[in-house]
């Protein structure tokens, strides 16, 4: 089954569990307008129960689940069925985030199931060695972020970003690179893209800002500017 294509550079808005319901919908609608205005692909994550409303209120976003399990229709009480995600309107799923880690076996099965259903996979890794190992599974996007920096407002240094970019591309040349940990300023966005990454994004740097919508706008404008010079 064909997957939606991601244009580069791209941006991710990942509210995690900071937002839900009307607040998540409001931010998604603004992100959708921004995606159209700036002509950029924006991946937006949301709570599973919010995707129905967000899908119907937006036209341009790539909607991503924050997790997926590898089961098939049948028994599996309490698990996230891939077919249900696809049916609800999700285009993609994050996998193996530091806040929802998976074993290698589970990650392998999840990527296989997502590929069968045309769901984009956004797999997370910590170190360059982790990134190299996970890249052998050929996810569509690799998130390279040092676990200890998540949510701190501090980004990894440029050498980390470049090393993980190179590690992934050496193994899986078609996997897109996302550098994202601690992104909270326009300068952080520029650094991530200048490292050679295909995209970046934020969570607390956006949703906890004094003006989340303006912060998101400034970051997306920056990624377009830097991307146009590459």
Contact 198, 172 (CB under 8 A): no
Whether residue 222 is preceded by a cis peptide bond, meaning omega within 30 degrees of 0, is no
DSSP state of 69: -
Catalytic residues: 97, 145
167 burial (CB, 10 Å; 0-12 / 13-18 / 19+) is buried
* Distance in Å from the first CA to the final CA of the chain: 32
d(CA 158, CA 72): 41
Map residue 10 onto helix, strand or coil. Answer: strand
Residue carrying structure tokens 């193996």: 96
Contact 124, 96 (CB under 8 A): yes
Q: Which long-range contacts (CB under 8 A, 24 or more apart) does 130-133 make?
A: 131/164, 131/167, 131/168, 132/167, 132/168, 132/170, 132/171, 133/104
């Amino acid at each position: 089954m064909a997957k939606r294509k991601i244009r580069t550079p791209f941006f991710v808005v990942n509210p995690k569990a900071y937002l839900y319901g009307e607040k998540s919908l409001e931010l998604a609608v603004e992100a959708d307008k921004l995606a159209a205005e700036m002509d950029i692909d924006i991946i937006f994550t949301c709570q599973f129960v919010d995707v129905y409303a967000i899908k119907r209120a937006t036209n341009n976003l790539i909607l991503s689940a924050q997790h997926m399990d590898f089961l098939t229709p049948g028994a599996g009480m309490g698990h996230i069925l891939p077919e249900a995600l696809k049916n609800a309107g999700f285009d993609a799923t994050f996998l193996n985030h530091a806040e929802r880690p998976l074993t290698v076996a589970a990650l392998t099965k999840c990527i296989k199931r997502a590929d069968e259903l045309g769901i984009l996979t956004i797999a997370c890794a910590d170190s360059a060695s982790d990134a190299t190992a996970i890249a052998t599974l050929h996810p569509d996007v690799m998130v390279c972020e040092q676990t200890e920096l998540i949510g701190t407002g501090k980004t990894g240094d440029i050498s980390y970003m470049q090393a993980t970019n190179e590690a992934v591309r050496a193994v899986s040349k078609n996997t897109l690179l996302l550098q994202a940990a601690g992104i909270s300023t326009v300068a952080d966005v520029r650094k991530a893209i200048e490292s050679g990454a295909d995209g970046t994004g934020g969570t607390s740097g956006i949703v906890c800002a004094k003006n989340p919508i303006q912060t998101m706008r400034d970051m997306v404008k920056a990624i377009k500017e830097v991307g146009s010079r590459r």
